[in-house]
Structure formats: structure tokens, C-alpha cells
Amino acid sequence: MNLSQIELLRILQETNFSLSKAAEKMNIVQSAVSRQLQLFEGEIGSPLFERHGKKLTAMTPLGLRIIEEVNAINQAKNNIQALAADYLDSNHGVLHIATTHTQAKYFLPKPILRFREKYPGVRIYMDEASPEQLINKLHTGKADIAICTEKVADDVYLAVKSCYEWHHAAIMPKNHPLADGEVTLERLASFSILTYSFGFTGRSNIEKAFEKSESKLDIVLSAADTDVIKTYVRLGLGVGIIAGMAYDATIDSDLVARDLSHLIPCSKTKIAYLKNNYLPLYGQHFIDELLQAVSKGNL
């Protein structure tokens, strides 16, 4: 058993068990990969992959169990390298942030700007994805930190911290009837609604608000992206329900925003990361700042 065999197993997960693709990723010839897998399976004494003829199609139960340990080894190996790099120079590196569009555009800009000032040597990768994909990106090492509003699955490998509480708002053109008077669930429900897709940006809280109510929302358009919602609200398709922070009085001066905090429960933006994943110091600082800045209202 050696580390390149472990690495090979990890990569085979990603390449749909293709030896040739794995070889390419590892920058060695395919025959070498084939032999290394044989050697490893020989050492284990049992096949780790189901085969249709020569082609690998799936993992055996033993293989699946062993892959868990393989992933643990890979995680630890990456941590060692990250620790070493961080120790040599804790001001340079990369930070992969996976988040949703709304957080990326309306919550993170200021924190990231402050972070850039402190760590100009850190390259930031912003990775947009749906909330359910975010966790997967953490597990596959494609992201260091995930930031989103919707519930992150109960996962013992995950650390989750709440960092920001916000409310939804209704937006509409200036001359819209809902721009004046009291906003109630019933009244809101009397208009065509545009809001986030299922699983995005507190959509579950919108559902919750109308769960007990007699009124039902007529959602004519749902999108993952606040800007898409705004666009169609401007075209007169109806009333948008968006995250309060996504309304910008300057840019959106043609729209009216009405607070919905009395109608829809408050949403919490959360930070999640793998407990087992070593985060460089600047990554830890980024999280700390996010937690503190929010509590100080420094947004």
C-alpha cells in the first residue's frame, strides 16, 4: 500500500471508475494505473471494483468501505500539505468559497473586500452552486467554506455556524397597489408572486409563513437568482419576494421594497466547513471576521 495507490482510488471515484481518465489526471500512462490497481487489490486480497469484463463498473461493498478510509487518508494528507504551506507563509494561498448567488452578490461583497485588504496575497475562488451542491463541494474538497441560508444537512463531519439574520422583503414597481397600505399575508397572496426556487435563500421560510395561513401564494416565477426576480418584477410580472439585503435603495430606486419581517420568519445565513479539513489561518480569520462583523453590524 502506498500513497499513490490511495490517490488513485480517490481519483477513480471522480472519473466514474475510468482507469484511462484517472491516468490522465495523475499524469502517468494508463498501464501504470492498471498495474497499481492490480497490486493494491492483490494486497487487499479481494476485488474492490465490480467488473464487466475488463471494465470497472462499480465498487464492491468492501471497496465502498475502504474508500471511506481512503478519503480519510487523503484528507489528512491534504491537511499536512496545507499546514506546511500555511506555516511557511500564512498570507498567501487560495480560498474556495462555495455559496449561492444571493449571498455572493448581496452579503459577501463587503466582507470579502475587507478580507482582500488584509490578505492581498490570497486568491479567492467564488463558486456558485445550489445549497444542496454546496455540501457536496465541501466533501469533495472543491470548497473550503460553504455559505448559505437553507438548512445544511445534519452531518457529523460538518461544522455549521450561524452568522447573519435577515428578513425577506417584497419588491414591486413604484406605482404598484402594494406600495401603499398595510402588508398582510392575504394581501400579498392576492398578487402574482416571483421568488426563489425551492431550496434557495430562505424559500423554506416563505413556505412556512403560508403553511398555516388560508391564503396560498401564486408563484408565477421562481429563480435561484435575485437579479432574475428583479428583472421580471420590473417587467410587471408581479410582486417579488427577495432577501431584504438584496434591495439596494440606489440601484433599485425604480422599485419599492416593503419589509416582511412581521410575516415571514427570519432567515439565518450559515457558514459550514468540514471539521476534518485544515483551514489556513486566513480562512479561519475570514470566518471569524464574518461572525464578528455581522454581530457588530459592520456590513
Partner DNA sequence: GGATTTTACGCATTTCGTAAGTATT
Partner DNA sequence: AATACTTACGAAATGCGTAAAATCC
The answer to whether residue 69 forms part of the interface with a copy of itself (CB under 8 A) is: yes
The alpha carbon of 158 is separated from its chain's Cα centroid by a whole number of angstroms, namely: 13
Closer by beta carbon to a copy of itself, 61 or else 177: 61
String of contacts with DNA for each residue 21-60, x by CB under 7 A? x-----xxxxxx-xxxxxx-----------xxxxxx----
Q: Pick from a copy of itself, DNA, none: which does 77 bind, CB < 5 to 8 A by kind?
A: a copy of itself
Phi and psi for 161 in degrees, rounded to 5?
Answer: -130, 135
Contact by Cβ (8 Å): 265, 208: yes
Contact by Cβ (8 Å): 148, 131: yes
Closer by beta carbon to DNA, 21 or else 139: 21
The answer to whether residue 58 forms part of the interface with a copy of itself (CB under 8 A) is: no
The answer to whether residue 72 forms part of the interface with a copy of itself (CB under 8 A) is: yes
Contact by Cβ (8 Å): 44, 67: no
Q: Pick from a copy of itself, DNA, none: which does 44 bind, CB < 5 to 8 A by kind?
A: a copy of itself
* Helix and strand element counts for the chain (H, E): 11, 12
Q: Measured from the CB of residue 64, what is the shortest distance to DNA in angstroms?
A: 18
13: β partners: none
Q: What share of the chain is helix, strand, coil (3-state, %, to 5)?
A: 45, 25, 30
Helix (H) or strand (E) holding 125: strand 122-128
- Segment near a copy of itself (CB under 8 A), from 13-21, 30-38, 58-66, 261-269? 58-66
Q: Measured from the CB of residue 90, what is the shortest distance to a copy of itself in angstroms?
A: 12
The answer to whether residue 65 forms part of the interface with a copy of itself (CB under 8 A) is: yes
The answer to whether residue 281 forms part of the interface with a copy of itself (CB under 8 A) is: no
How far is it, in rounded angstroms, from Cα 21 to Cα 56? 12
Binding footprint of DNA on the chain (CB under 7 A): 2, 4, 17-21, 27-32, 34-39, 51-56
